[in-house]
Copies of this chain bind each other. A is one copy, B any other.
Amino acid sequence: MLVKRYISEGLAHFSYLVADQGQATVIDPRRDVVVYLDEAAAGGFHIDHVLETHRNEDYLVGSCEIESITGAEIFHADSQWDYQYGFPAEEGQIWWVGRLKIQAIATPGHTPGSMSYLLYDPDGNPWMIFTGDALFSGDVGRVDLMGQNRLEEMAGLLYDSLFTKILPLGDGIIICPAHGSGSVCGAGINDRTWTTIGMERKNNPKLQVDSKEDFIKTHAQMLERPPYFKKMEQLNVEGPPILGKLPWLRPMLPNAFSEAGQEALVLDTRDQISFGSAHLAGSLALWSDTLPKFAGWFLPYHQPIVMINDQLSHERILRMLIRMGFDNLSGYLKGGVLNWSWAGKQLEKVEIISVSAFYQTVNNDPDIFVLDVRSADQPWDDGIPQGVHIPLTQLKDNLSEVPKDKRVYIICTRGNRSMTAASLLMNQGYQDIVVLIGGLTAWQAYLRNEV
């Protein structure tokens, strides 16, 4: 028997393989499905079924990909939408994985047709529940995806799902949600990697409410919504294009890369230190470690993408983008920026400032322009007093607030968003930009150290 969780880096998406006695079921697979296939092959399990907890909005689901290989039957939730593949999962429906029973429980709220799946142990006792985006460790699903109009309705549905269907299953049940800490699907998700109904009942802040009204009042909120969600929602109903295998990434020497970059977007996945030091004119800074968080905001679906990446694994980036439907990443600069420099080609820099120098600058010159690009849900008052707040994701629409004739100091929580902001501004013609390396994390630590 095997119950295994797979974590998609950056998206913090959790998927699961449940296997017993030659059979296997995957819950909410990601699109690059080789991990499930390899595990199943190693254990001698045949993947018969794929279960989806809801129409996912933040990644492309791999159900059709698995079906194309093993012939698995797909069961999807949210059958109110016009699915072009698989079968609808019905409330109470049962599947078997060897000795293990799985049962569908309708838990709407995040989407109108969200399903949870209750797994029983070999002796027939309720054991684990796959809650999708209904219930996380430390948070519950967002309810704003149906729009402002249905906000309270959806929050009410979620309340009922949580308090009348999931929690009554008993404290001892293990919860297997669709996301972990770092997901755009729940800012409050913590990293208690395994959790139970008992622990959530006691410790999940969203469940500490007096009444349904109370829950609706506090939880019915519109949140930021990356533009790529729309694409994911559409493709996840249509059935995402079948990959078969990962696309080939073409290594390009500087001249070829230069030519490709005429048409393609140049994505630079290196960190703030490297990008600041030397980068290609016109490139977009999106650090690999947080790439999935921002790719959906800034990358195009209808333009080729070529990449600069100083890690050994180009495939890591490819997988991240493929999971979000960016099948248009076509190649990378072989040898990276050093190779570009050896070809005698032009390099740009973004000035970076270390925290001690910035401290002096701020203290000496109260009139400096500080652009704070932290996310909208950040508590704003702990930044630099001078900070003008424009979340990174809203920067392009608010350029008028950023002076072109003044040095612009950019800050954020850790420095990564700042460098992305810097690359966006430079591509808009801004020239005098300085990024605080390490961001407010560095700032606050510096203040603590100094005192």
A residues near B, CB below 8 A? 1-3, 21-22, 37, 41, 44-46, 69-70, 121-123, 125, 127-128, 170-174, 190-194, 196-203, 244-245, 248-253, 271-274, 276-278, 310-312, 314-315, 334-335, 337-338, 341-347, 349, 352, 354-356, 414-415, 437-439, 441-449
The answer for the CA separation of A433 and B119 in the assembled complex, in Å, is 47
Q: Provide the residues of chain B in CB contact with A173, threshold 8 Å.
A: 196, 198-199
For the complex formed, measure the closest distance between the CB of A404 and the CB atoms of chain B, giving whole angstroms. Answer: 23
Contact A341 B415 (CB under 8 A): yes
Contact B194 A172 (CB under 8 A): no
Q: Which of B196, B347, B437, B448 contacts A198 (CB 8 A)?
A: B196
For the complex formed, measure the closest distance between the CB of A66 and the CB atoms of chain B, giving whole angstroms. Answer: 10
Q: Which of B344, B346, B438 contacts A344 (CB 8 A)?
A: B438
Q: Provide the residues of chain B in CB contact with A445, threshold 8 Å.
A: 342-345
Contact B171 A171 (CB under 8 A): yes
For the complex formed, measure the closest distance between the CB of A391 and the CB atoms of chain B, giving whole angstroms. Answer: 21
The answer for the CA separation of A442 and B343 in the assembled complex, in Å, is 6
Q: Provide the residues of chain B in CB contact with A343, threshold 8 Å.
A: 442, 445
Top 10 A-B residue pairs of the complex, sorted by shortest distance between their CB atoms: A172-B198, A344-B445, A341-B438, A277-B277, A344-B446, A171-B171, A44-B251, A172-B196, A244-B244, A44-B334
With A194-B194, A446-B344 known as contacts, the answer to whether A252 contacts B438 (CB < 8 A) is no
For the complex formed, measure the closest distance between the CB of A124 and the CB atoms of chain B, giving whole angstroms. Answer: 10
Q: Provide the residues of chain B in CB contact with A45, threshold 8 Å.
A: 251
For the complex formed, measure the closest distance between the CB of A99 and the CB atoms of chain B, giving whole angstroms. Answer: 10
Q: Which of B172, B190, B310 contacts A171 (CB 8 A)?
A: B172
- Some 24 contacts from A to B, beta carbons below 8 A apart, are A1-B191, A3-B193, A41-B249, A44-B251, A45-B251, A69-B245, A125-B199, A127-B199, A170-B198, A173-B198, A174-B196, A273-B274, A277-B352, A278-B352, A278-B354, A278-B437, A338-B438, A342-B442, A343-B445, A344-B445, A344-B449, A345-B449, A346-B354, A349-B354
Q: Provide the residues of chain B in CB contact with A203, threshold 8 Å.
A: 121, 123, 125
The answer for the CA separation of A196 and B127 in the assembled complex, in Å, is 9
The answer for the CA separation of A196 and B334 in the assembled complex, in Å, is 32
Q: Provide the residues of chain B in CB contact with A449, threshold 8 Å.
A: 344-345
Q: Provide the residues of chain B in CB contact with A127, threshold 8 Å.
A: 192, 199
For the complex formed, measure the closest distance between the CB of A54 and the CB atoms of chain B, giving whole angstroms. Answer: 24
The answer for the CA separation of A310 and B441 in the assembled complex, in Å, is 20
The answer for the CA separation of A190 and B127 in the assembled complex, in Å, is 13
Nearest B residue (CB) for A37: B248
Q: Provide the residues of chain B in CB contact with A1, threshold 8 Å.
A: 191, 193
- Other A-B pairs beyond A2-B193, A196-B196, 6, CB < 8 Å: A121-B203, A172-B172, A172-B201, A173-B196, A244-B245, A344-B443
Q: Which of B22, B192, B439 contacts A252 (CB 8 A)?
A: B22
Nearest B residue (CB) for A346: B356
Q: Provide the residues of chain B in CB contact with A273, threshold 8 Å.
A: 274, 277-278, 337-338
Contact A250 B172 (CB under 8 A): no
Contact A251 B194 (CB under 8 A): no
